[in-house]
Amino acid sequence: MSTLTLPVPVKKGPIILSAPSRLPAGLFSRRTLRIGSENAFRIGPQIRELEAQGHKVIKCNLGEPDFPLARHIAEEVKRQIDLDLTHYCDPQGLPALREAVARTMSARRGLALTPDRVVVFPGGKPPIGLTQQTYCNPGDEVIYPSPGFPIYESFTTYLGAKPVPLHLREEAGFSFTGRELAALITKRTRLIILNFPSNPTGGVATAAQLEEIADVIRKKAPPQARIYSDEIYEEILFDGNRHRSIASLPGMAERTILVSGVSKSFAWTGGRVGWAVFPTAEEAAVFRNLNINYFSCIPAYNQMGAALALESPQSAVEIARMLAAFTERRDLMVAGLNSIPGITCRKPGGAFYLFPNIAGLCERLGAIAAYKHLPVGLRARTSPATLVQMFLLWRYQVATMDRRSFGRIGSEGQHYLRLSIATSLADLQIGLARIRTAAEDRTGFEIFIQEGQHLC
Ligand SMILES: Cc1ncc(COP(=O)(O)O)c(C=O)c1O
């Protein structure tokens, strides 16, 4: 009987098929068998199954602002389609958008970025893999935050580079010290990924933390190591926090790849427009060529919409509206979660996620003991937090994400869930009430585990 690992999009993580597969052995490349995924998308079929059964699922799983695309941006996209901007265009990105990116990113960060260093991609996600592919040979090391956006780790393993998770500690506000970073940098380090404000923790770096990180990089990182600063949540900041970028610190712009896009700032995940600003025009040219190889170009009408979004004063009004809603939801949910026995939740400073510690809840429901008694193979694909996540989804119809979904390596023993607050206040209130009831349902949890249908 062959054992084949396939990235089948119905369950979580690469799927181990222990039954004989009808596919010929060796069909997929070894690297294909190593790629991970973004579980926020992968539980979609499970949610649809529950909805088909007539359930209302509270969707706290997706990182997608639940606001419509602002009128001024939508009108511009339509206008550009009417102008027939519907053909191939500059593979590096339209000059109008690259200029808008260079101007706005420079102004906010006190830099002098130029459009020849900007490359436009179909979203903020593609530059993650393309950057690893471009700067890393097999065995080269990628340092990335964990918990962190899952694609960082997924691509590292896919490419045969060495994943080096930088563990964010709750006690440190889900950040890390210069000393912790320094301990991970070696001669083989090629990329150091930073993500502030952070997914999934909502952590925001202080000026002092960034100074410390920059200092370590100056002293210890090899000259070929690039910083990948994923700043896609740059606009989503609470409590008067202002965005800070590592690139603004002395000596950092020369080695930082700055990444952002329209998905979060302008609630435009379907626009598929993101960008990276590279340290040099030569590097940008390499990525321009990758775009030619992979995508040819990004829809021009959306790029024009993005250019307008970046520079129109109306955008600040829309962002402020969105932030007010997120703040209200965050405050309600943080207070509500903290009032449930076994859950503690910090107030995030940015992004639109809560990352409650559910160690106590895992204990109360019996998830830790249940996990210990699972068969070894299954244990490798789940965790106590995953069992709670699945229980909440299948028994209480609240979709959340488990800790494992944000970097698996070294996540054992960490009991967290991520809840997106990009869902209406009314739905969040229903979700909270359901979680509160679930937290008391030890018998229901026991039966759920015994039935054993959805344990990973
Ligand atoms: C940290 C981070 N980077 C990148 C992305 C990808 O964004 P996009 O939808 O623009 O590809 C996300 C989306 O959730 C994210 O959370």
Q: Report the Cα–Cα distance between both ends of the chain, in Å, rounded.
A: 23
Same domain, 245 and 331: no
Q: Is the CB of 197 under 6 A from ligand 1?
A: no
Would you say the CB of residue 125 lies under 6 angstroms from ligand 1?
Answer: yes
- 421 and 338 both lie in a single domain: yes
User: Quick check: is 131 in a domain?
Assistant: yes
Q: What is the pTM of this model?
A: 0.93
261 lines ligand 1 (CB under 6 A): yes
Ligand 1 proximity of 39 Cβ (cutoff 6 Å): no
Both 146 and 204 in one domain: the answer is yes
Instruction: Report the range of poorest mean pLDDT among 30-44, 137-151, 241-255, 294-308.
Output: 30-44
Q: How confident is the model over 215-229, as a mean pLDDT?
A: 97
Q: Is residue 113 part of a domain?
A: yes
* pLDDT for 299: 97
Same domain, 440 and 387: yes
243 vs 397: CA distance, rounded Å = 35
**Angle between helix 44-52 and 384-396 (nearest 10):** 30
**C-beta of 232 in contact with ligand 1 (< 6 A):** yes
Question: Where does the pLDDT of residue 264 fall: very low under 50, low under 70, confident under 90, or very high at 90 and above?
Answer: very high
pLDDT band, residue 6 (cuts 50/70/90): very low
**Residue 126 shares a structural domain with residue 270:** yes
Q: Indicate left, alpha or beta for 173 from its phi (over 0: left) and psi (-120 to 50: alpha).
A: left
Q: Give the end of a domain, one of 264, 293, 311.
A: 311
Return d(Cα 337, Cα 343) in angstroms, integer.
6
Residue 433 neighbours by CB under 8 Å, 6+ apart: none
Q: Is 202 in the pocket of ligand 1 (CB under 6 A)?
A: no
Determine the average pLDDT of the residues in 356-376. Answer: 96
pLDDT in tens, 394-425: 999 999 999 999 999 999 999 999 999 999 99
Q: Is the domain of 155 the same as that of 205? A: yes
Ligand 1 within 6 A of CB of 230: yes
Asked whether residue 267 is assigned to any structural domain, the reply reads yes
Per-residue pLDDT band at 16 (split at 50, 70, 90): very low
Q: Verify that 182 and 303 share a domain, yes or no.
A: yes
**Domain region containing 398:** 4-64+317-451
Q: Cα of 270 to ligand 1 centre, how many Å? A: 12
Tokens 């909502």, located at residue: 202
Most informative mutation of 60, 174, 199, 257 for ligand 1 (most atoms within 8 A of CB):
199
Tell me whether strands 189-194 and 226-230 are parallel, antiparallel or unpaired: parallel
432 shares a domain with 389: yes
CA of 125 to the centre of ligand 1 (A): 5
Q: In this structure, what CATH number is given to the domain that contains residue 325? A: 3.90.1150.10
Cβ of 201 closer than 6 Å to ligand 1, yes or no, is no
Q: How far is the CA of 264 from the centre of ligand 1 (A)?
A: 8
Please give the distance, rounded to the nearest whole angstrom, from the Cα atom of residue 259 to the centre of ligand 1. 10
Residue 366 lies in a domain: yes
CA 285 – CA 223 distance, rounded (Å):
20
Number of H helices, E strands in the chain: 18, 14
Residue 205 placed within a domain: yes
pLDDT at 20: 56
- Is there an atom of ligand 1 within 6 Å of 131 CB? no
* Residue 236 within a domain: yes
Mean pLDDT taken over the chain: 93
Residue 392 has pLDDT above 90, yes or no: yes
Ligand 1 nearest-atom number relative to CA 262: 10
Which atom of ligand 1 lies closest to the CA of 64? 14
Task: Give the whole-angstrom CA distance, residue 232 versus residue 229.
Answer: 9
Q: Average of pLDDT values for 27-46?
A: 88
Hey, what amino acid is at 65?
Answer: P
Chosen domain end from 311, 342, 376: 311
Judgement on whether residues 330 and 305 belong to the same structural domain of the protein: no
How far is residue 386's CA from residue 392's CA, in Å, rounded to a whole number? Answer: 10
Is 388:367 a contact under the CB 8 Å cutoff?
yes
20, 26, 28, 31 alpha-carbon torsion, rounded to 10°: 110
* Residue 265 beta carbon below 6 angstroms from any ligand 1 atom: no
Out of 64, 69, 149, give the residue to mutate to test ligand 1, the one with the largest number of ligand atoms within 8 Å of its CB: 149
Ligand 1 touching residue 405 (CB < 6 A): no
* 54 and 113 both lie in a single domain: no
Same domain, 46 and 153: no
Element (H, E) at 316: helix 313-338
**In ligand 1, which atom is closest to the CA atom of 272?**
10
Residue 423 lies in a domain: yes
Residue 150 has pLDDT above 60, yes or no: yes
Ligand 1 atom closest to Cα of residue 351: 16
Does residue 38 register a pLDDT over 80?
Answer: yes
456 domain residue, yes or no: no
Task: State whether 386 and 254 are in the same domain.
Answer: no
Q: Which of 275, 294, 311 is the last residue of a domain?
A: 311
- 418: DSSP letter: E
Distance 124 CA to ligand 1 centre (A): 5
User: What pLDDT, on the 0 to 100 scale, is given for residue 330?
Assistant: 98
Is the minimum distance from the CB of 149 to ligand 1 under 6 angstroms?
yes
* Bridge partner list, 158: none
Regarding the beta carbon of 274 and ligand 1, being less than 6 Å apart is answered yes
Q: Does ligand 1 have an atom closer than 6 angstroms to the CB of 279?
A: no
Structurally, the chain folds into a number of domains equal to: 2
Average pLDDT over residues 425-436: 97
Q: Which CATH number belongs to the domain containing residue 89 in this structure?
A: 3.40.640.10
Pocket test for ligand 1, best of 232, 236, 420 (most atoms within 8 A of CB): 232
Q: Is 364 in the pocket of ligand 1 (CB under 6 A)?
A: no
